[in-house]
């Protein structure tokens, strides 16, 4: 499951200032190595850039609100790693974190029973990479039940955010997660 024999089998993370593609890159990482190492490095970046607001004035109890629920980001990025196309492309998975959104781009469109119309629906699953998926399940990183996208939607809703937006075509899955409105 390392990236030594699979060109493009890594994740590029970029924290970009502002909301435009021409913004300055504030932080970046190339998450390489075994899938477990890629996920750990990416999780570290996601946690490091997530902000938590603490409101202790408007109620008797403090309320903590994260800019993004980590669970949602983990589900979406792990799905990208598990379901990406590792053949016919050297493109990595891209995670671009802007001030107002996070964009996740994964090479390879829907596979098998999954199509653009049923993409992301509960229980609709197929595995382009069954060995990668099973290894991720054994390591406790995914469940393989088709719960990932529904769990991300639920976590975002509980955090007061809109659901992730997907653009799906034959060559790529592109996911946009909008920041919580302040």
**For residue 122, what pLDDT is reported?**
84
pLDDT classification of 7: cutoffs 50, 70, 90: low
10 phi/psi in degrees, rounded to 5: -155, 175
Q: What is the pLDDT of residues 70-124, one digit of tens each?
A: 999 999 999 999 999 988 888 999 999 999 999 999 999 999 999 999 998 888 8
- In terms of pLDDT, which residue wins out, 148 or 177? 177
How many Å apart are CA 22 and CA 7, to the nearest integer? 27
4 pLDDT band (50/70/90 cuts)? very low
DSSP code of 163?
A: P
Q: What is the pLDDT of residues 117-169, one digit of tens each?
A: 999 888 888 999 999 999 999 999 998 778 899 999 999 999 999 999 999 99
In the chain, what are the domain boundaries? 11-178
pTM: 0.89
Q: What are phi and psi of 97, to 5 degrees?
A: -110, 110
Point out which residues pair with 54 in neighbouring strands. Answer: 64
Cα–Cα dist 156/137, whole Å: 23
Alpha helices by DSSP H, 13-113: 35-49, 70-83
Domain 11-178, CATH? 3.30.565.60
If one counts every other C-beta atom within 10 angstroms of the C-beta of residue 170, the result is 8
């Amino acid at each position: 499951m390392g990236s030594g024999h699979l060109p493009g089998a890594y994740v590029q993370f970029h924290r970009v200032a502002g909301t435009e593609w021409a913004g300055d890159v504030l932080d970046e990482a190339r998450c390489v190595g075994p899938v477990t190492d890629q996920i750990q490095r990416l999780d570290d970046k996601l946690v490091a850039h997530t902000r938590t607001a603490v409101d202790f004035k408007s109620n008797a109890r403090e309320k903590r609100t994260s800019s993004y629920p980590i669970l949602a980001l983990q589900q979406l990025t792990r799905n990208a790693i598990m379901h990406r196309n590792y053949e016919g492309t050297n493109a990595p998975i891209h995670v671009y974190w802007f001030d107002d959104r996070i964009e996740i781009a994964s090479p390879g469109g829907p596979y098998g029973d999954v199509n653009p119309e049923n993409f992301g629906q509960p229980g609709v699953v197929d595995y382009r990479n069954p060995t990668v998926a099973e290894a991720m399940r054994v390591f406790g990183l995914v469940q393989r039940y088709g719960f990932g996208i529904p769990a991300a939607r639920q976590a975002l809703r509980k955090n007061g955010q809109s659901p992730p937006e997907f653009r799906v075509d034959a060559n790529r899955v592109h996911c946009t997660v909008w920041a919580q409105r302040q």
